Structure 1
Amino acid sequence: MQNKKYHILFNIVIAFAVTMFFSCNSNTRSSSRYLMSEEAPIAEGFDLNLKYTDSGRLTAILKAPRVFDFTNKSFGYYEFPEGIILDIIDKEGKVSVITSDYAISYQQTGLIDMRGNVDIQTADSTHLQAKQLYWDKSINWVFTDQPYKSYLSDGNINEADGFDANQDFTILNSRINDGVILIED
């Protein structure tokens, strides 16, 4: 009798083990779709409205229709494939607006690289157009080595091969200039 109970229990355990063994099926096709590719972003955002502050004062507002988060990489970054609108606010509350068709923001350096139809409208009505522009948010500096064209509020036009300026555009260093200056008689 004891041997019969042992035999029944043994058969139940074997049946359970065999059932578990055959029910575990490795299907790499269905499980791989849940694995994230190293090339894929870890997040995607829409209609971004990001505010930068310095000592409690609002210094910039970054707006973008779409953003990809690649901060999982060794040199993390955010990519804005549909462009950005960047409002830079000076200490008096005056706003300069920068737009571009594409941008990348690097986390480790605090640098934003804007490309394609970069357009700047400063608070004093200066209009600047460039192919590429960098904004270093850690030191509040804007610069490019690409050609640009600026239209000043007094009607003067300047073309140059690059510039660097503080984000308020009160300091502007331009390189290799060519332009039109209006002079009163």
Structure 2
Amino acid sequence: MKNINNIIKSIVILSGITMLLSCENSIKEVQSITSNEKTPERSGKDVEFIFTDSTRIKYRAFAVEFIDVKTEDKEYQDFPKGGKITSYDDDGTVAGQIEANYAKHFTSDQLWELRNKVIAVSDDGKTINTELMYWDQSKGLIYSDQYVRITTDDGQVLEGIGFSSDDKMDKITLKKVTGEVYLNDETEQ
């Protein structure tokens, strides 16, 4: 009986050793796979972020849902249900607003990626509609390479593929223009 128990114990031990030695993934491989996964550091619902510079409010961001993501390769804030960003002038007046149904903020690059029904409105009434817009906070630029529709403060509608502008929408450059532009000829009187 002792021999049978010893034989069974030996078989179990040999099976365990064989299973351990036959594993293809090392501990480092398993750690590298799990570290690249999108894991939230912080998250929340109905949140407001206030970005300041020398105690002055520069931007406010409102979001239905917020996820702070940090991986080995990148760090960003994800806004899967979109939100609204309001920018302010130095005197505290609203300089403009951007709304989107999805947003991602790359914090270290100070870059916002805005997608799905993006609407940007300047303080003087200009409106930009597109499906994709980037806002580079460090350079003070907004831009896209997608279809864009711009409505000027006097109601003119311009369309094109791609644009770039300062973030106050004072100097807009529209690319591949497809809309109609009406100009007043001041030489005729």
Report the TM range for the smaller structure's normalisation. Answer: 0.7 to 0.9
2:147 aligned with 1:152, yes or no?
A: no
Measured at CA, do residues 48 and 36 of structure 1 come closer, stay the same or move farther in structure 2, by a change above 3 Å? farther
Determine the C-alpha separation between the residues in 1 that align with 2:104 and 2:40: 13
SS in 2 for 1:179: coil
Q: Aligned pairs, how many?
A: 151
Match of 1:76 in 2: 75
Measured at CA, do residues 156 and 74 of structure 1 come closer, stay the same or move farther in structure 2, by a change above 3 Å? same
SS in 1 for 2:179: strand
Q: Is the 8 A contact 1:42 1:72 kept in 2?
A: no
CA deviations on 1:54-113 (whole Å, 9 max, x unpaired) are 333322111101111112443111110000101122345233111101011112211110
Structure (1 or 2) with the larger CA radius of gyration? 1
Q: Is the 8 A contact 1:158 1:180 kept in 2?
A: yes
Determine the C-alpha separation between the residues in 1 that align with 2:170 and 2:68: 33
Determine the C-alpha separation between the residues in 1 that align with 2:39 and 2:99: 26
Q: Is the 8 A contact 1:112 1:135 kept in 2?
A: yes
Cα deviation for residue 179 of structure 1 reads 1.7
Alignment of 1:167-178 (within 5 A): 167-178=167-178
AA partner of residue 145 (structure 1): D
Determine the C-alpha separation between the residues in 2 that align with 1:175 and 1:91: 31
- Segments of structure 1 that go 5 or more residues without pairing to the other structure are 1-34
SS in 2 for 1:42: strand
Match of 2:15 in 1: none
Measured at CA, do residues 76 and 176 of structure 1 come closer, stay the same or move farther in structure 2, by a change above 3 Å? same
TM-score (norm 1): 0.73
2:88 aligned with 1:67, yes or no?
A: no
AA partner of residue 168 (structure 1): K
Q: Is the 8 A contact 2:39 2:71 kept in 1?
A: no
RMSD: 2.2
AA partner of residue 98 (structure 2): I
Measured at CA, do residues 147 and 178 of structure 1 come closer, stay the same or move farther in structure 2, by a change above 3 Å? same
